[in-house]
A and B are shown apart, each in its own frame.
Chain A
């Protein structure tokens, strides 16, 4: 790297340090409890950490912003099945936070966060069925869809019937078409 590049990099670092210093100088309290602030109609102060309630469990978060994915992780909802996270207000409807969107913990009126299964619609044997999005083993998917374990389950994708082996997995996003059938055909 030449000296001009080095100077540029140094400038970026200096800027980041300056922003960090301003943020540190602006800290008003060690821990801000957003639920307490909401319940008492107080603004959330700048803090070193924020106490947030996710699905009735309290957590401390070191920044004023948190993504949907980070909230799901705190709630232990980052497994094979898909959950959604909502920002709940003291007054008003809960708002969905998408996985990569950031919630501002200092936003006035935010009381807590809640998670719920992400439900999607699929078709099984020509009937609509609502299930949780996510990755299933095929035998679990049969159970969730109410398909007898002895039946073969196919997923229809782009004009192709793909047989799903019981020990395989399938990722359900919504809109999938499944057909179950009994093994009856045989070479004659």
Chain B
């Protein structure tokens, strides 16, 4: 379960975020995430996975692959919807969700 103060930190930045759980793993749905400069498209929804998923310590899922950024994009069914993510690993699950998100976004710069 995501700590309320950690959800509040994300809410301060992204508005009405929603915690979700699938297979015992915590996720946070972000209704509007602005991706780093140079990404196309710049804005989209996002699903931050805060635990182990498909061999990765944590992951950031997006509704579309980002053109020209990230490598080895793959599609996954998560929480009943198709999501895309790229090959970016070693972001530990013990960090705060905001730190995990910041580190994943670094992978799109």
Contact = CB atoms under 8 A, between A and B. Distances in A.
A183 interface: yes
B91 A187 contact: no
Contacts, number: 74
A3 B14 CA distance: 63
A interface majority secondary structure: strand
Given A156-B13, A159-B14, A159-B33, A181 B89 contact: no
Contacts of B91: 184-185
B12 interface: yes
Interface stretch (B20-28, B76-84, B100-108): B100-108
A124 to B, nearest CB: 11
Contacts of B56: 188
B4 to A, nearest CB: 11
Nearest to B106: A185
Interface of B: 5-6, 8-9, 12-15, 32-36, 43, 56, 71, 87-92, 95-96, 98-99, 101-107, 109
A-B interface, 4 closest residue pairs, ranked by CB to CB distance from nearest: A160-B34, A188-B89, A126-B9, A181-B99
Given A163-B109, A186-B88, 13 more contacts: A126-B96, A161-B105, A179-B99, A184-B92, A184-B103, A185-B90, A185-B91, A186-B89, A186-B90, A188-B87, A188-B88, A188-B89, A188-B90
